[in-house]
Amino acid sequence: MLQTTNRPDSPVSIIGAGIAGAWQALLFAQAGHAVTLHERSDADMTASTSHWAGGMLAPYCEAEVAEPLISRLGLRSLDIWRRELPDTPFNGSLVVAHPRERNDFERFARMTEGHRRLDAAALAGLEPSLEGRFRDALFFPTEGHVEPRRVLPKLHARIKAAGGTIKFGSDVSASDLDGLVIDCRGLTAREEQPGLRGVKGEMILIESSEVQLSRPVRLIHPRWPLYVIPREDNMFMLGATSIEAEDTGVSVRSALELLGAAYAVHPAFGEARIVEFGSGLRPAYPDNLPRIGVRGGKISVNGLYRHGFLIAPALAELTLNFVERGQIDNEVMQCA
């Protein structure tokens, strides 16, 4: 058991202001702890994996490939997102396929819950830009999405409003800090986290005023779940590859596949302007599941893999429940 339990005013230092650390800082600050969030980069957060993410809050769609644990944490997180940031769009997500991927589309439908089928007319009713594009679609009405580059600053502002302190340009290690330390350094923590690896995800940002979408659209693809996510100002994020590599380049092949997916969703994307190519390294343990590790006065929260935005609120709640009440979630927590 941590020495710091039961003392809400005791110092809590959180290292890393990506999506994992931001949610830890918010829930601990709201619970009355004296929180300091340390981030070695600046407020733009371009060095974090979180900066490159799609921001889909899609526990049902992810169940196609992820373990039930991700759905459990994801569903709990949706409630916390709704409670803490009520303006988060929860207007669902769509899955579509071209005829040659029909079998994979049906498999996706069988592997997932929480959806209903739309025929072409209903799809056009929901997303007029997609009129005549697809025979049918799967609609997951309760899923949400956030724009990572807008929601991280919002969370940081909420942390300050709750009494927490954020120090950007603060490159610290746990041994420099007093009190409880929560290590949310993502892939940087690999020297202390056996097996942690980076899984590259490439993305492209495009701008088009020809297509309007209100929610993420996933296109069934034989290799990767490809998607188009609407952003503000006529922007769309195209994502994401999943490659066992730790360089941060974007290959021609990946770019062709991502742009091809957008073109397949709507040919008007062919005229879109390319704004940015980029990639991030998803921190993942060998089983691709998240872990809250407890050792002495230090807790590590890592391995959020492709689900950081989806599960970070629930992980923060579990950490808080452990620190305040000693509750242990055996599926996620490892106590040394």
Ligand X SMILES: Cc1cc2nc3c(=O)[nH]c(=O)nc-3n(C[C@H](O)[C@H](O)[C@H](O)COP(=O)(O)OP(=O)(O)OC[C@H]3O[C@@H](n4cnc5c(N)ncnc54)[C@H](O)[C@@H]3O)c2cc1C
- The residues binding ligand X (CB under 6 A) are 15-21, 38-41, 45, 47-50, 52-56, 170-173, 184-186, 188, 201, 203, 239-240, 280, 282-283, 304-310
Alpha carbons 27 and 43: distance in angstroms, whole number:
20
Nearest by Cα to 154 from 25, 316, 305, 65: 25
Q: Which is nearer to ligand X, 9 or 191 (CB)?
A: 191
Q: Which is nearer to ligand X, 32 or 297 (CB)?
A: 297
Per the document, the length of the chain is 336
Of 115 and 306, CB closest to ligand X = 306
The DSSP call for residue 129 is G
- Least Cβ distance, residue 266 to ligand X (angstroms): 20
Minimum CB–partner distance for residue 125 and ligand X (Å): 25
Collect all residues with Cβ–Cβ distance below 8 Å to 207 and sequence separation of at least 6. 233, 234, 235, 236, 272, 273, 275
CA distances 119 to 11, 94, 108, 130, 330, Å, are: 55, 12, 17, 12, 42
156 burial via Cβ count (<10 Å: 0-12, 13-18, 19+): buried
- DSSP run (H or E) holding 279: strand 273-284
Q: How far is the CB of 198 from ligand X (least distance, A)?
A: 9
CA 132-133-136 angle, 5° bins: 90
| Nearer of residues 148 and 322 to ligand X, judged by Cβ | 148
Shortest separation between residue 32's beta carbon and ligand X, angstroms: 23
Residue number of the CB closest to ligand X reads 18
Toward ligand X, which CB reaches closer, 149 or 266? 149
Kindly state the smallest distance separating residue 109's Cβ from ligand X, in Å: 21
Helix (H), strand (E) at residue 264: helix 252-265
**CB 216 to ligand X: min, Å:** 8
Give dist(CA 84, CA 25) in Å, integer: 13
CA atoms of 284 and 43, how far apart (whole Å): 24
**Running DSSP on this structure, what letter comes out for residue 75?**
H
Secondary structure of residue 39 in the 3-state scheme = strand
Using the minimum distance from each CB to ligand X, give the nearer residue, 56 or 332: 56
Q: Least separation, in Å, of the C-beta of 6 and ligand X?
A: 27
Of 5 and 46, the one with the shorter C-beta distance to ligand X is 46
What is the spatial distance between Cα 309 and Cα 314, in angstroms, rounded to a whole number? 10
C-beta of 9 vs 232, nearer to ligand X = 232
Residue 110 Cβ vs ligand X, minimum distance, rounded to whole Å: 23
